[in-house]
Amino acid sequence: MRELFRSLPPPARLAAIGALVVPGSMLFPWYGIQFGPGLSETGFDSFGLGQLALLITVAAALYLIARCAGEYELPRPLHEGSLLAVAGAWSAVLVGYLMLDTPDSISVYTDIHLRYGIFVALGGSLALLLGGLRLRRDEIVAERRRRT
């Protein structure tokens, strides 16, 4: 596993780290009530279709990274960097939706605020997006070199 990670180009490593951060962030508090450390809900406590879509998206991105690291060539119009950037953008949109769609209540409290875990998930999504964009830039440069 370590050799697989080291064999990745730096943008793909950034995308892989971002994709691993998103499910890890679900262990941290995403939503909470205002006073003190008080009551909170992690990403798994408030698990729904939005969180499921988020996990499926980052799992697909990780699968793509692992598959392309094994010298797999995608069909002609598709590029690894583009697909990773789309996965990062979609996961950021999903996290944004989950920021707006907070739970109705925690215990009996209805004044719910965002906690740091959801921002960690947003950071992982943005790292996945940035890694995909940088990888696509490197792919474009490599294609231009092959043509000349």
Q: What is the pLDDT of residues 21-46, one digit of tens each?
A: 999 999 999 998 876 666 788 899 88
Q: Is 105 inside any structural domain?
A: yes
| Domain annotation covers residue 2 | no
Give the residue among 21, 35, 41 at the shortest CA–CA distance from 101: 41
- Residue 143 inside a domain? The answer is no
First to last CA, the chain: 36
Question: Domain range for residue 77?
Answer: 10-31+39-135
* Residue 1 is assigned to a structural domain of this protein: no
Distance (Å, whole) CA 117 – CA 123:
10
Residue 10: both structure tokens together:
């730096």
> Alpha-carbon distance 29 to 118, whole Å?
7
Indicate whether 83 belongs to any domain: yes
Residues 93-137 have pLDDT tens digits of 999 999 999 888 777 778 888 999 999 999 999 999 999 999 999
Q: Are 57 and 11 in contact (CB under 8 A)?
A: no
What's the total number of domains in the chain? Answer: 1
